[in-house]
Structure 1
Amino acid sequence: MGALDESTPVPSRITLQLMKQKKKSAFQGYSLLKKKSDALFIHFRDVLKDIVKTKTKVGEEMRNASFSLAKSVWAAGDFKGQIIEGIKRPVVTLSLSTNNVAGVKLPIFQVNIDPTVDVLGNLGVAAGGQVINNTRENYLQCLNMLVKLASMQVIHTHKNII
């Protein structure tokens, strides 16, 4: 091989300009990636704060829901079999959407409640109807919070982030 390898450019004004342009482009790409990384990091910290708050709320709501279930069983008797027999189609479904943060698509779960489906029917007409409806509302709140928590926890473990 000669004095000049193919890996080293021939020193000239054109190669100097090309190297300056490559350096500028590399710096610009780095700064864009840094901005994206910072935006995702800020979003990640906000999500972590929300996860901690939501976990404490879920604990409280689950306690309230369990207590309201005990009250409704005491007021109306054991109605689990009647509810299971009354289910024809799902009342609650889960859908997946995406949120775009700094060019990264993050998955978000959403709860869809179908108000036309009446699982309770005539349950609790004789006794405990209001208590059963309160129990249903408490468990729907718990379900919404759990889905929100799951959505927040899955956001930064998704494969599109890496």
Structure 2
Amino acid sequence: MNTDNRYPVTASLFMLKEIKHRQEQVNRGYQLLKRKAEALRMRGRQAASELASTQAILGHILREAYISLAAIKFTNGESNALVLENIGQAQIRVQRIPENISGVATVSLQALEEVGAWDSMCYAGLGAGGHRTSEAKKAFREAVRTLVKFASLRNTCILLDESIRSTLRKVNGIEKVIMPKLRNTETYILMEMDEREREEFHRLKMVKAKKVKNQARAVQLRQSASFGGAGETGEGDEAEPDLPPQCEPIECLTSILACSSLSTTTESGDFKPVCYPHNWDDDDLLF
């Protein structure tokens, strides 16, 4: 098996349990990340749809606001200098509300209107075009609220998009890299343990065969030894044949010397010693 696609571990029962425990943890994390990605996608689709509708409404509101501003300019003339001179306390403020969407920290923006704030332009347009001025003020306030909502939804969509990408990268990394490595590592450990078990079984089989062979050889040797002892005992019980009487060693030597002193010559001139029969055993020569 390719060592690049598995973790470098030793094939043991402890590592097998550890790898299985890691697989359980990885599977749990994989399922949680998939659920997180699905929740982020759902929330992102919802935010994207709201963003699209808000963008369409924002264009219409801004168009109506600038049309009302043009009507004021047509009725009262240029009033930008008067507005800039009378700028005071802000009547609309933006509040940041932190939100947690499936573990992703986002910020929601909400427009708050200060009721107690003094309006410096409250008396603008009393001489002429007051109705147009109030309509323009309402239109631009609505445009500000819509812009704040649009910014909040856009920020949420950007954060959710980044979170979805990072979560999907983690999910793909676990699915394509970590989980195959863990499975290959578990397969490698099981193969090595099976191979060791087969080797141990073969070794025990060979040891048992050798032991049986040695036992059979020992039994055979004992049987042959018992049969040999029984044969020798039977031969000893038989009557020994009559042997000629043996002479003493000194007498045998004397007879040998007497035989060596006698000699005859054949007709062809070859020397041929003559030895008379003697009664002695070959074992007596050792003495």
TM-score normalised per structure 1? 0.85
Instruction: Name the structure, 1 or 2, with higher relative contact order (CA <8 Å, separation 6+).
Output: 1
| Alpha-carbon shift at residue 10 of structure 1 (Å) | 4.1
Q: Distance in 1 between matches of 2:129 and 2:158?
A: 44
Q: Distance in 2 between matches of 1:9 and 1:97?
A: 53
Structure 1 runs not aligned, ≥5 long = 1-5
Q: What is the SS of the residue equivalent to 2:127?
A: coil
State the AA in 1 paired with 2:134: N
Q: How does 1:70-89 map to 2 (within 5 A)?
A: 70-89=70-89
| Alpha-carbon shift at residue 79 of structure 1 (Å) | 2.2
User: Which residue does 2:45 correspond to in 1?
Assistant: 45
Q: How does 1:8-157 map to 2 (within 5 A)?
A: 8-12=9-13, 14-115=14-115, 116-157=117-158
Q: Distance in 2 between matches of 1:155 and 1:101?
A: 10
State the AA in 2 paired with 1:70: A
Q: Distance in 1 between matches of 2:86 and 2:63?
A: 26
Q: Distance in 2 between matches of 1:77 and 1:16?
A: 85
Q: Distance in 2 between matches of 1:65 and 1:156?
A: 27
The structure with the greater share of residues assigned to helix is 2
Q: Is the 8 A contact 2:48 2:157 kept in 1?
A: no
What is the number of equivalent residue pairs in this alignment?
156
Per-residue deviation, residues 102-142 of structure 1 (Å, max 9, x unmatched): 01111222222223230313211112222211111101111
Q: What is the SS of the residue equivalent to 1:158?
A: helix
| Higher-Rg member (1/2) | 2
- Aligned alpha-carbon RMSD (Å): 2.1
Q: State, as a whole percentage, how many aligned pairs show the same letter.
A: 22
Q: Is the 8 A contact 1:47 1:152 kept in 2?
A: yes
Q: Distance in 1 between matches of 2:122 and 2:58?
A: 28
Q: Is the 8 A contact 1:98 1:107 kept in 2?
A: yes
Q: Is the 8 A contact 2:100 2:106 kept in 1?
A: yes
Q: Distance in 2 between matches of 1:66 and 1:47?
A: 28
Per-residue deviation, residues 58-117 of structure 1 (Å, max 9, x unmatched): 111111111111222223332222221111222222232222110111122222222323
| Alpha-carbon shift at residue 28 of structure 1 (Å) | 0.2
Q: What is the SS of the residue equivalent to 1:157?
A: helix
Q: Distance in 2 between matches of 1:114 and 1:84?
A: 20
Q: Distance in 1 between matches of 2:46 and 2:158?
A: 15
Q: What is the SS of the residue equivalent to 1:110?
A: strand
Q: Distance in 2 between matches of 1:139 and 1:45?
A: 29
The answer to which of 69-78 and 48-57 deviates more is 69-78
State the AA in 2 paired with 1:132: T
Q: What is the SS of the residue equivalent to 2:158?
A: coil
